Structure 1
Amino acid sequence: MPKAVLMGHSYGTDLASRFCLRHSDRVAAMLLMCGPFVGDWRTGYRAERGRRMSTAQQERLRALEGLPHRTEEQEVELLTLAWFTDHADPERGWHWAAQGAQRRRPVNWAMNGELGREGHADPLDEHLGELRACLPARAELLGGADDPRPVSALASLALRLDLPLTQIEGAGHEPWWEQPYTVRAHLRRFVQGTVGA
């Protein structure tokens, strides 16, 4: 049976990890980018996200989140406010978040909520020992050094899974926006190294 080079980003790293737990015989290599985050990473994330937003932006985001129904314009504004802090550069981050808010829609909020409940019911944290045991020989973590989600959480995960962690300087949660050549070179090296092996 052919094996896959499995890559996941953000929540996709949780999905890739769970796939590996169930089908490790089908995974040739695995690259986890900007996740998965385990333990109490949300406290640090919320604090850093708040630091990157003005008081007015925080209040507006809360107001939009509290609306029972949102117009198209309000939905785009909410997503832009929710996503722009993911980037190291706030000005370019706002532009990228606004672009993403227009393209990556509609957001399935009901499915997001359901996935969140499933994650809380069966957290990946409780399967890290199993995951470490079934990881392919070639597996790595990659993260943006300026991701508002704590890099310390990824460093801790790297220790627990005994994986190398590469931090991309000057990049946030979507590092290919701010450091495209660095990310491209890393992905190419990873895939070519797997295929060549």
Structure 2
Amino acid sequence: MPFSTSDGVRLWTATTGTTTSAPPVVILHGGPGLWDDYAVLADMLDDLTVVHRFDQRGCGRSGPSDEQTMARLAQDIDELREYWGHQRILVIGHSFGATLALTYAASYPDHAAGVVYLGGVGIGDWHTPYYAEVARRMTPAQRDRLEALTGSSRTWDEEIEFRVLSWFTSHADRSMALTWAGEEAAVDLPINFHANRALAGEMNVWPDEYVAGFAATISAPVTFIHGDGDPRPVSAVRDLAAHIPHHTFHLLPSAGHSPWREQPELLREVLRATLR
């Protein structure tokens, strides 16, 4: 069901489950600039509560928007919360969505029942070890091909190839990584590179002290979930968690950036325990 924000941007939304005494859940997708593809997470929880998903402004099935800031995205979440009729929500953010979830909880503390920080990047220099691990997981030919496809005009087949080469290194199971990345890449929706550059550019200039400072103000409980096979270093996520007063940390064994691929039952257990 579409929803229009206060500045007139139409957002695609999806809702499953039924309202119960448990906190309602809102899932925040990654990117920035991608789309919601998290029905698998909703299925893990929507027998316990109502679960909402949406495509962020300018992304996926939502309407276009030139305004791409973390503050505006957090405001969109709160407008959706009010539209859905909830006083407080549990926000589950994956990858970029994890940072957005923390931003929301810090910006709207009265309306955040809790946060799940799933596969985020943490603070400090996470880029150096991340790119080193990504390079290690690629062959020289794959690296050369990705470089050739980056920044060029691509056919649809080349776009799928670009996405696969960009994403397959995030999976811990090397035997399935290309297959899973192919499934993710085949979604017939465009990547919003404007949103990606604008939001990544904003976050990349945040000093660690700023991120740690607003994280320290979050009074809601924060659950950190990270795969030990995610190329994004867990040490950077632990460094961020140390600044949050009420948090728990779950390192999932043999799991990558999308732990519902490799450890679905363990992830389901952690998410359901968090909701309860």
User: With structure 1 as the length reference, what TM-score do the two structures score?
Assistant: 0.90
Q: 1:184 aligns with which of 240, 245, 268?
A: 268
Q: Secondary structure at the match of 1:2?
A: coil
Opposite residue 9 of structure 1, the aligned amino acid is H
- Residue 169 (structure 1) aligned with residue 253 (structure 2): yes
More moved, 31-40 vs 177-186: 31-40
Higher helix share: 1
* CA distances 1:3-55 after superposition (whole Å, capped 9, x unpaired): 11111110001111111111011011111111142221010000000000111
In structure 1, what is the equivalent of residue 201 of structure 2?
117
Give the distance between the partners of 1:123 and 1:86, measured in 2 at CA: 26
Give the distance between the partners of 1:57 and 1:125, measured in 2 at CA: 37
User: With structure 2 as the length reference, what TM-score do the two structures score?
Assistant: 0.65
Instruction: Map residues 23-42 of structure 1 onto 2, 5 A cutoff.
Output: 23-42=108-127
Deviation at 1:97, TM superposition (A): 0.3
Instruction: Map residues 24-173 of structure 1 onto 2, 5 A cutoff.
Output: 24-67=109-152, 69-103=153-187, 105-122=189-206, 126-136=210-220, 138-162=221-245, 163-173=247-257
Q: Larger relative contact order (C-alpha < 8 A, sep ≥ 6)?
A: 1
Give the distance between the partners of 2:134 and 2:180, measured in 1 at CA: 16
Aligned residues of 1:8 and 1:33 also touching (Cα < 8 A): yes
For structure 2, the 5+ residue unaligned runs are 1-85
Give the distance between the partners of 2:180 and 2:106, measured in 1 at CA: 34
| CA-based RMSD | 1.6
Give the distance between the partners of 2:209 and 2:189, measured in 1 at CA: 30
Deviation at 1:72, TM superposition (A): 0.5
Give the distance between the partners of 2:231 and 2:127, measured in 1 at CA: 10
Q: Secondary structure at the match of 2:116?
A: strand
Give the distance between the partners of 1:82 and 1:19, measured in 2 at CA: 28
Aligned residues of 1:170 and 1:179 also touching (Cα < 8 A): yes
Opposite residue 161 of structure 1, the aligned amino acid is I
Q: Secondary structure at the match of 1:38?
A: coil
Aligned residues of 1:38 and 1:125 also touching (Cα < 8 A): no
